[in-house]
A and B are shown apart, each in its own frame.
Chain A
Amino acid sequence: MPAYQRMLDPTLNGLHSGESPLLRTVGLTKRYGDFLANDSIDIDVWPKEIHALLGENGAGKSTLVKAIYGLIQPSAGEIRWQGEPIVLSGPSEARSRGIGMVFQHFSLFDNLTVAENVALGLDGKESFKDMSARLEQVSRTYGLPLDPRREVWQLSVGERQRIEIVRALMQDPKFLILDEPTAVLTPQEADQLFVVLERLKAEGRAILYISHKLDEVKRLCDTATILRGGKKVQTCNPRLETAASLARMMVGGEIKEVKAAAGRQTTIPRLVVNDLSLAPDEAHGVRLEHISFELKGGEILGIAGVAGNGQDELFAALSGERLSKDPGTIVIEGIAAGHLSITKRRKLGAAFVPEERLGHGTAPRMKLSENALLTGHAASGMVNRGFIDTAATLKTVDKATETFDVRKAKRDPEAASLSGGNLQKFIVGREILRNPAVLVVSQPTWGVDAGAAAVIRQALLDLATAGAAVLVTSQDLDELAEIADRIAVMFHGRLSAPLAASEATREKLGLLMGGSSLEPKEAAHAVGA
């Protein structure tokens, strides 16, 4: 948007004249070593405003909001709250001033009830009974239904997030920060969230909203501040922009389109699952029931479904983190592998990318080179007679960094210090660089920016073109539509028959995700027979 137009934009200037912003950062800077995660950022957030914070992975969004919430101390610059400069000693002080935050990664205890979880996160001194009553009241007022007595493990991802939001709202914040709240939600759940956010805005609160989904930003947000490489690029009105122009500001250039190579050939079956049934190994798990499919080289099979319908269990069974008694239930490269360990399956040519980046896909407190070794020790020549070839592990880091544009503060940092999206790029890169024959990947672009998501999807397509079999589990139907050849739906531990991508309309997938069957004709047939 040209400068003159910005000056004329009422939401950016005129409307607010006279008042002071609720929150203003002046020259806010955060340095890690000699790396600038935030470089002198000025941002104003006004009451009654939903303010989007946009930027590529590693642009510094989480760093900025963590500083505002008192989780990290800025290296330089100032935070002004209602015009007054403040120094926050920690999150509890931020909360007491009226700043609330909902993190992308939930901090809930599975075996405690909703009310107990909320009580643990509040600073107040009210009795548990009063608190529970207030919890019910707040959740009713905002249309965020929650039963305080339910235990968390019984709840869906959307309901869990509701707990975090209600917990934040119970402190009656004037200013609410949401870090990628919709990354894990189904479209319906996201819509419900937007209604709540609109309402909070109408009540005069301000919201700072981080998301990679530009369409929803255009729909919801009044203002958008774009960060690139730790610096503020621009503040604009997202409604006057297109998703493409926002993306351009974030990247500083065009985003490549994902292209499937024409005439991809399917070859031999590389991953076959035969009537796999598996009891859950933990109390709250899902039982897998009679899962069968066949995946050929050159093919991408997408698995859709609401989270918690057995996707995690299926991943564990395919990877070998859970073994199955019957070897024949899982066949990798023609070899019965149901009873083989994950290392042996890797040696057969399989590679795996789990959904959870920190703590599952990587050891958070270990260096990237060590995390390369974590999955590479089996079959990538990183180990020589029991000794680690450090040069080889570093080479994998460098190669993944280069191929997937992983941005980090130094050559070999701890995994936990990477921004979410950059760590995801590293993990996907680490596996793809092994040239697997079979790749099983869960939520490949979870929390990854549009540019990087395109890179990852392209890499999956290229891998299939090169002859690998790729299984992608994703909540993002658009993503599956973009790359998958066939799509199956997981519901209550069962997998539907795959639909060809061309036939897999949103309606059909939606029905399957809700547990309905698509085969009225066959049913009629059965009756007739």
Chain B
Amino acid sequence: MQLVLEKRTERSNTIALVSPLIAIGLTIVTMTILFAILGKNPVLALQAYFIAPLTDSYSLQELAVKATPLVMIAIGLSLCYLANAWNIGAEGQFLIGAVAGSWIAVKTQGTDAGAWVLPAMLVLAAAAGALYALIPAICKVKFGASEILTSLMLVYVADLLLDYLVRGPWRDPNGFNFPTTAEFDPVATVPLLIEGGRLHLGSIIALLVVAAAAILLGRTIKGFEIRVVGAAPRAARFGGFNANQLVILTFAVSGALAGLAGIIEVAGPVGHLQPGISPGYGFTAIIVAFLGRLNPIGILIAGLFLALTFIGGEQAQIAMKIPLDVTKVFQGILLFYVLACDSLILYRFKLVLANRQVARGAG
């Protein structure tokens, strides 16, 4: 007896919809086993991960705060992926955005600069993210370099640049030698939505980005172009759409969104620039994009779900001493299952018996 993967003749639309759910189910099963191996009570652990964060207002706000960068980055990535451009370096574009925006905050620190500071930070961060993303895009278009490798490598460049700045030129003189800038001025900070709460303006921006992407992809010729270039490159060329231009465009947009997410994170929840501002948002957003089926609304839901794993991971660490890295394991397993389940849309499992005897009917 043998298990083989056979190509489906008809694409299964049902599976296309339920495949993310199957993936989540399988991930939970795997995690249960993993918790048991770690000697933790799986029921309690899963409860800490998935239920506890949903029970109080603080955690719910925190959920939105964590989902904000994930959703913004993932929307940008989904545009790239739909157009067959593989931006893996959103983490780097996120960091560069954070750095560029912080530059204004650091330079205006303590001056009486007005309300223009925050908008200027947002614009500069988006521009820096876009420019940074253009490096791999242009290398791909001009020299045929694999954008997967170049965009990924630039993540480490950005990471080290940030590290250098906060340890050197931008270090807070009154910060006891900690590698961090001084706390940003109020004009350089993203306003809160609820006094004394966690929810900030960035979440509204993320929702606007989702809406804009939904309109772009569903209603405009540019969105159509993005979808055709990815789905049928030759037909797209026949339609007069230029795949190279689209690589440039989608990389720029996704870099801008990642950069924007970076500065919002720094000028919002964190409040200053320091290493470790991202728990891997740029990478987790890849999972969000695929789990959300590269669809804006799907990404919104998937972003909230993955935010839950971050918060749940913290809670599980506090309550049950489960290492925080388990969250990364969790996310990795989830991506694996999402991609694996996606192949079920086009393929199916089949059991092949050694001697091909099919039950003989009455005829």
Residues on A facing B (Cβ under 8 Å): 66, 71-72, 78, 80, 83-87, 89-90, 92-93, 96, 319-321, 341-343, 346, 352, 354, 356, 359-366, 370, 373-375, 377-378, 383, 386-388
B224 is contacted by which of A89, A320, A321, A388 (Cβ under 8 Å)? Answer: A388
Does A80 contact B240, Cβ atoms closer than 8 Å? no
Which chain B residue lies CB-closest to A88?
B358
Other-chain contact of A374, B239, B350, B362 (Cβ < 8 Å): B239
Whether the pair B350, A383 counts as a contact (CB closer than 8 A) is no
State in angstroms the CA–CA spacing of A341 and B244 once bound together: 14
Cross-chain contact of A386 among B220, B231, B236 (Cβ < 8 A): B220
The answer to whether A86 touches B358 (Cβ under 8 A) is yes
Please determine whether A78 and B363 come into contact, CB atoms closer than 8 angstroms.
yes
- On chain B, the residues within 8 Å of A87 by CB distance are 358
CB–CB A365/B231 < 8 A: yes
Contact check, A373 vs B224: say whether CB atoms are below 8 A apart. Answer: yes
Q: Which residues of A contact B350 (CB under 8 A)?
A: 89-90
Number of B residues, CB within 8 Å of A:
27
A89-B350, A321-B238, A378-B240 in contact; A363/B231 too (CB < 8 A)? yes
**New A-B contacts (17) at CB < 8 Å, excluding given A89-B358, A377-B239:** A71-B9, A80-B363, A90-B6, A93-B358, A319-B238, A341-B240, A356-B234, A360-B238, A363-B232, A363-B236, A365-B11, A365-B232, A370-B224, A373-B224, A383-B221, A388-B219, A388-B224
The closest CB in chain A to the CB of B218 belongs to A388
Residues of B within 8 A of A (CB): 6, 9-11, 219-222, 224, 227-228, 231-232, 234-240, 350, 356, 358, 360-363
Across the interface, name the chain A residue whose C-beta is closest to B229.
A363
Residues in B neighbouring A363, C-beta threshold 8 A: 228, 231-232, 235-236
Interface SS majority for chain B: mixed
A377 to B235, alpha carbons, bound, how many Å?
A: 14
Known: A72-B10, A387-B219. A360 touches B235 (CB 8 A): yes
Of the residues B9, B227, B236, B237, contact of A72 by C-beta under 8 Å: B9
24 pairs, A vs B, C-beta closer than 8 Å: A72-B9, A85-B361, A92-B6, A319-B238, A342-B237, A342-B238, A342-B239, A342-B240, A352-B238, A354-B238, A360-B235, A363-B236, A365-B231, A365-B232, A370-B224, A373-B221, A373-B224, A374-B235, A375-B239, A375-B240, A377-B221, A386-B221, A386-B222, A387-B219
Task: Name the residue on B nearest A80 (C-beta).
Answer: B363
Q: Are B238 and A387 in contact (CB under 8 A)?
A: no
Cα(A271)–Cα(B349), bound, Å: 54
Distance of A83 Cα from B224 Cα, bound (Å): 52
Residues in chain A near residue B228, CB distance under 8 A: 363, 366, 370, 374
Query: Which residues of chain B are near A96, meaning CB under 8 Å?
Result: 356
Complex Cα–Cα for A83 and B11 (A): 32
CB distance from B235 to the nearest CB of A (A): 4
Partner of A66 from B9, B227, B356 at Cβ < 8 Å: B9
In chain A, what residue has the closest Cβ to B10?
A72
A80–B227 CA distance with the chains assembled, in angstroms? 44
Cβ contacts under 8 Å, A352 to chain B: 238
Q: Once the chains are docked, how many angstroms separate the CA of A346 from the CA of B240?
A: 9
| Docked pose: A83 CA to B361 CA in angstroms | 11
Least CB distance from B144 to A in Å reads 14
Closest chain A residue, CB of each to CB of B216: A386
| Distance (whole angstroms) from the CB of A169 to the closest CB of chain B | 21
Distance in Å from the Cβ of A464 to the closest Cβ of chain B? 23
**For the complex, what is the distance from the CA of A362 to the CA of B350, rounded to whole Å?**
32
Compute how far the CA of A361 lies from the CA of B238 in the bound complex, rounded to whole angstroms.
7
A320, closest chain B residue (CB)? B240
